[in-house]
Amino acid sequence: MTLAELSAFLTHQGLWLLLPLAIVEGPIVAVVAGVLCSQSVFDWFVVYPLLVIGDLIGDCLYYAVGRLSQGRVHRIALWLHLPVSKAEEFAARVKARSIRMLLIGKWTHAIGILVLIAAGAARIALPRFLIINLLATLPKAALLLGVGYLVGANWTRAVNHWGWWTLGLVIVGVLAAYLVLRHPRPRRGQAA
């Protein structure tokens, strides 16, 4: 389904489909919803909470996959074509640096699903997981909705350059992840 088809579908079907679509593919739906808000099809103050809730539900589903896969890391690693030791090391890293890793996962999309599954497999407490994800989702959903709103007036021109937009966001996300992971914080009792 192209972005134009998704926009037409949402316009015709209304808000009742926004939440399920946000669960499946939050970022694209947020941008399209922003475009529709700019065209007065939807109201942003109704759309924004639906996007946040949908994103959190989707994250919880990936968390549940990780939680249910506890003890099956070997299978998941094989399914993802990863060495088992790397998968276990990644889950341990997500648990040790849960805030940092969950924020990176939410904001980059490059490793987002893996981080969410690893958070469940590492048994990060669900309330902690939800709070961190909520704090990461609020600005992310607002930014994507805002981008869609700003693009709304120039929708056709923006769609023609969608690949460049995506590439730019991936580059920014990877750079942010690199900068955050490059400088580990010193542990208590260690010199900086």
> Any idea where the domains of the chain sit in the sequence?
3-182
- Supply 107's token pair: 């904001």
Segment 66-70 shows an average pLDDT of 78
According to the model, what pLDDT value does residue 77 have?
67
CB 98 within 8 A of CB 128: yes
Strands (E), the chain: none
- Single out the residue of 157, 176, 155, 177 nearest to residue 31, CA to CA: 155
- Mean pLDDT is highest, among 43-47, 162-166, 182-186, for 43-47
Condensed to tens digits (0 to 9), the pLDDT of residues 18-63 reads 888 889 888 888 888 888 888 888 888 989 999 999 999 998 998 8
Euclidean distance between CA atoms 101 and 132, whole angstroms:
10
Based on the number of CB atoms within 10 Å of its own CB, is 88 exposed (0-12), middle (13-18) or buried (19 or more)?
A: middle
According to the model, what pLDDT value does residue 192 have?
42
- Supply 148's token pair: 């869609």
Which residue's structure tokens are 């990461």?
136
Predicted TM-score (pTM) of this structure: 0.69
According to the model, what pLDDT value does residue 15 have?
75
Condensed to tens digits (0 to 9), the pLDDT of residues 100-151 reads 777 777 777 667 777 788 788 888 889 988 998 999 899 999 999 998 888 8
Distances (CA, A) of 16 to 13, 19, 33, 73, 188: 7, 7, 12, 37, 49
Condensed to tens digits (0 to 9), the pLDDT of residues 72-110 reads 666 666 666 666 666 666 666 677 666 777 777 777 766
Residue 9 has pLDDT above 80, yes or no: no
